[in-house]
Amino acid sequence: MALWKARALSPEQKVQIVEEESEAKSLQSDESGSFLGLEDVSMSEVYSCALPVPYNYSYGCIVDIFSLYQMVVIVLLVIQTGFCMELFSGGELEYKAMKKAGGLDYSCTPWESEKDDAYERQICYKFDKRVSRYRGEMTSTQQKSQLPNKNGWHIEEVMTLQGVPLGDYFNIHLRYQIEDFHSKAEGCQVRVFFGIAWLKSTWHQKRITKNIISNLQKRLKVIFGVVEKEFSRR
């Protein structure tokens, strides 16, 4: 029966079948090489913001504060920290931001040193029903490294979905770039790039991509809104 069908196909149909099979094979993931094959994924900017939050933030055990934003206080003990990078520190700010953005049961491993001055960690959380009616779970691997000019960080992330329709058809790739303003103004520039690595072929690629980007942009706005709000309280 299959042989009869093959003979009944036109040359154009046979070519189409070969092309589809070839495309399906090419969509299989290849995690060799650099960080989980991130260099092979087409990335586009989906979010950016300028935060009045310095990448290098100085604050002290204060006795007197005249102006937080102008840093007119360095009293007793001065602590240097990248406030915006606290979002990726595994601390209170990160947990608070992720919960606000619909990430439940959030957990992350400590950063571990990798080759070439890079650090890597694992993340896992469940989706609030506001984010996904299927709930579902997200696991991801993040890798961070300093920018060449040492004025900020790259955070690259590969995310995998479980418990959602077609979640095993793709991986989500993100790249955060957090960098100090080049001017004398206090603050940092945040840029987020997005891409999808398709592991299986589906007719719904465009719709899935559109939905993910829309959801992602909303969550990023909430997350960095929390960062700015928390900084203003310190």
- pLDDT tens series, the chain, 234 aa: 444 444 566 665 555 555 545 544 444 444 334 455 556 789 999 999 888 765 554 443 333 333 333 333 332 222 223 788 899 999 999 999 999 999 999 999 999 998 778 999 999 999 988 877 778 999 999 999 998 888 889 999 999 999 988 999 999 999 999 988 766 667 788 999 999 999 999 999 999 999 999 999 999 999 999 998 988 887
Q: How many CA atoms lie within 13 A of 93 on its CB side?
A: 20
In the three-class reduction of DSSP (H, G, I as helix; E, B as strand; rest coil), residue 36 is classed as helix
Q: With respect to residue 170, please indicate whether it lies within any of the assigned structural domains.
A: yes
CA nearest neighbour of 47 among 228, 220, 222: 220
Give the pLDDT score at 17. 54
The torsion region of residue 212 among left (phi > 0), alpha (psi -120 to 50) and beta comes to: alpha
Question: Which CATH number goes with the domain that contains 204?
Answer: 3.30.530.20
- In whole angstroms, what is the distance from residue 153 CA to residue 144 CA? 7
Q: With respect to residue 192, please indicate whether it lies within any of the assigned structural domains.
A: yes
Tokens standing for residue 142: 């993040």
Domain that holds residue 221: 31-55+82-232
Give the pLDDT score at 224. 93
Give the pLDDT score at 149. 82
Give the pLDDT score at 108. 97
Give the pLDDT score at 5. 46
Give the pLDDT score at 30. 41
- In whole angstroms, what is the distance from residue 193 CA to residue 176 CA? 7
Give the pLDDT score at 72. 34
Q: With respect to residue 95, please indicate whether it lies within any of the assigned structural domains.
A: yes
Q: With respect to residue 67, please indicate whether it lies within any of the assigned structural domains.
A: no
Q: With respect to residue 140, please indicate whether it lies within any of the assigned structural domains.
A: yes
Q: With respect to residue 39, please indicate whether it lies within any of the assigned structural domains.
A: yes
Provide the number of structural domains found in the chain: 1
Q: With respect to residue 74, please indicate whether it lies within any of the assigned structural domains.
A: no
Q: With respect to residue 68, please indicate whether it lies within any of the assigned structural domains.
A: no
> What pTM does this model have?
0.73
Give the pLDDT score at 156. 96
